[in-house]
Chain A
Amino acid sequence: MESEEAETLFSLVKDKYGDKIAPEELDAVKEAVERIVETSMELRSVELGNWDEPFTVFKPYRRQEE
């Protein structure tokens, strides 16, 4: 499934890493970007409230004092 978002993100990958990717590998990279966008769409389809925060919570750090 191709989408405008996948095309845009693939262009970004090609611009940034094109010199590290062989021409015959580009189709596979494009497919991988498309799968990432499809996966993101699945996530975006679930509604959350503004107050639903990430399950990984930042804890301020203070060294334990003697």
Chain B
Amino acid sequence: MNPVYTPLRRLSESIRSGEASPVELAETFLGRLETHGPTLNAVVTLTKERAMEQARRAEEEIRKGKARGPLHGIPWGGKDLLATAGIPTTWGAAPFKNQVFDYDAAVVERLEDAGAVLLAKLAMIELAGGMGYRQPNASFTGPCATPWSPRHWSGGSSSGSGAAVGAGLVPFAIGSETWGSILSPANNCGVSGLRPTYGRVSRHGAMALSWTLDKLGPLCQTADCCGIVLEAIAGHDPRDHSTSKRRYRYALKRDGVRVAVPKGVTDGVAEPVKRNFDEAMREVERFAEVEEIEFPEFPYEAVTRTILNAEAAASFDEFTERGLARGLTAPECRYGPYARTVVLAKDYLKALRLRERVARIAEDAMEQYDAVAAPSRGTTVPEIDKEFRKVTPGTTRDTMGALGNGAGLPAISVPSGFDGEGLPTGIQFMGRAYGENGVLSVAVEYQSRTKWHTVHPDRFIP
């Protein structure tokens, strides 16, 4: 069995059966990260020593019959905003490129407990995009390319997490999303990316951009893999007060699936994205009851944007006051933090007060459905050397992103096809709070009927 591009369930079976060895898997994927990582600007640091130690331990435990579960012995990569003891954690930003913590992030701990093998810290947009980047060259490791084209962007801010999974350099990765940072790279790299409900996964040890918006989640080959990883990383953590005490168990709903499509969701969307979305929905209609819904007019984007601006200004206050932004890569990020220092306290609080309305609107509209479907992005994959606004004139409003992140709702992006240039497009399924199994049920069934997640870029197929 060739482990590259093999979904986690199959990879796990091959480890348990002795067909694959954790040490050999670690060596194989480390080799791929070394060879292909630099061509994509996807990797910040290889954690080779730690990886081989974890892989040898996993191999020994499995040999002795001490199985830790489906991720035991499986390699992974983490967005470089997750603290790792003794290994640099750069937050993608030159001013922090020598930063080293003496502890592991909760997610790193949980994956270690699950027996997974950390191979690399993966590239990201500097400070998770918190300084207002407007083009892909916004990381001290350079602009990250999608595995589908060296001239096109991986998406961000979890850039390396998307690119490394898409290129088959790691079986799965962890990314983070404040607003779009998991769904965007999943879309651009042609992989599956799950943004969990806010508070589902502990953020202890992860860089904070916006305390009430930040979420951590997996990027994988398939939606099924995302469910497996989420079960391993979810759970209450007293070190992160946002975490829920609800226990998460990955389980699929087989019958009676209901999907909603917001009215006008493809208005203004790029033609190839719309075409693939319409085609995907025809497939969804074969197994789910599909209905149109309408989210009422409300300043969703103003609510989420104000919360993000105010919290980012506070979380990077010392950074801003010390003038450290001048050391960032993107010119627009060097002055990005200053304007938001004047968001008024009353406006931030108004946004937090309106957030309850947003949450209730979402629940009222979505209560009857397992998922709400929409294109993951309104545009095709941007070129790597262009400003976003120059290549995406007339970009539509991101109501799904604003509402979903503002209300802390889960969503998954899965591949829906390709545009005329051979670049991937994605479809997202967003669910009610704690409704990950609903969106996973839709996405897994969709992938069981389509082939897009099984198509990989030629130059990375071994």
A33 and B339 contacting across the interface, CB-CB below 8 Å:
yes
- By beta carbon, the residue of chain A nearest B359 is A55
Interface string of A46-64 (1 = CB under 8 A from B): 1010001111100100000
Tell me which residues across on chain A come within 8 A of B332, comparing CB atoms. Answer: 28
B347 and A13 contacting across the interface, CB-CB below 8 Å:
no
Q: Does A39 contact B (CB under 8 A)?
A: yes
**Considering only CB atoms and an 8 Å cut-off, how many residues of chain A contact the other chain?**
30
B353 and A12 contacting across the interface, CB-CB below 8 Å:
no
A52 to B353, CA, bound (A): 6
A44 to B338, CA, bound (A): 22
Tell me which residues across on chain A come within 8 A of B344, comparing CB atoms. Answer: 40
Indicate which residue in B299, B325, B353 contacts A55 across the interface (CB closer than 8 Å): B353
Q: Does B334 contact A (CB under 8 A)?
A: yes
Q: Which of B53-61, B264-272, B276-284, B300-308 contacts A (4 or more CB under 8 A)?
A: B300-308
A18 to B349, CA, bound (A): 28
Tell me which residues across on chain A come within 8 A of B334, comparing CB atoms. Answer: 22, 25
Q: Does B343 contact A (CB under 8 A)?
A: yes
Q: Say yes or no: A36-B335 contact (C-beta < 8 A), given A20-B323, A48-B354, A54-B349.
A: no
Tell me which residues across on chain B come within 8 A of A46, comparing CB atoms. Answer: 298-299, 350, 354, 357
B352 and A56 contacting across the interface, CB-CB below 8 Å:
yes
A9 to B339, CA, bound (A): 9
Q: Does B341 contact A (CB under 8 A)?
A: yes
B352 and A43 contacting across the interface, CB-CB below 8 Å:
no
A53 to B355, CA, bound (A): 10
**Would you call the interface of chain A mostly helix, strand, loop, or mixed?**
helix
- By beta carbon, the residue of chain A nearest B344 is A40
Indicate which residue in B306, B341, B355, B357 contacts A40 across the interface (CB closer than 8 Å): B306
Q: Say yes or no: A45-B299 contact (C-beta < 8 A), given A36-B309, A55-B355, A55-B356.
A: yes
In chain A between 1 and 42, which residues have their CB closer than 8 angstroms to a CB of chain B?
A: 9, 12-13, 16-17, 19-22, 25, 28-29, 32-33, 35-36, 39-40, 42
A1 to B3, CA, bound (A): 56
Tell me which residues across on chain B come within 8 A of A12, comparing CB atoms. Answer: 342
Say how far A30's CB is from chain B's closest CB, in angstroms: 8
B353 and A36 contacting across the interface, CB-CB below 8 Å:
no
B338 and A43 contacting across the interface, CB-CB below 8 Å:
no
Say how far A60's CB is from chain B's closest CB, in angstroms: 12
Say how far B348's CB is from chain A's closest CB, in angstroms: 9
Tell me which residues across on chain B come within 8 A of A59, comparing CB atoms. Answer: 241
Q: Does B89 contact A (CB under 8 A)?
A: no
Say how far A56's CB is from chain B's closest CB, in angstroms: 6
A59 to B242, CA, bound (A): 12
Residues of B near any A CB (own CB < 8 A) = 132, 212, 241, 298-299, 301-303, 305-306, 309, 320, 323, 325-326, 332, 334-336, 338-344, 347, 349-357, 359
Residues of A near any B CB (own CB < 8 A) = 9, 12-13, 16-17, 19-22, 25, 28-29, 32-33, 35-36, 39-40, 42-46, 48, 52-56, 59
Can you list 25 contacts pairing A with B, beta carbon distance less than 8 Å? A9-B342, A13-B338, A13-B339, A13-B342, A19-B323, A20-B323, A20-B335, A20-B338, A22-B335, A25-B334, A25-B335, A29-B335, A32-B132, A33-B342, A36-B340, A43-B350, A43-B351, A43-B354, A46-B299, A52-B356, A54-B352, A54-B355, A55-B353, A56-B212, A56-B352
| Given A13-B341, A20-B335: 18 more A-B contacts, CB < 8 Å | A13-B339, A16-B341, A19-B323, A20-B338, A22-B335, A25-B334, A28-B332, A29-B338, A33-B342, A39-B302, A39-B306, A40-B343, A42-B302, A43-B302, A43-B351, A43-B354, A46-B299, A55-B356
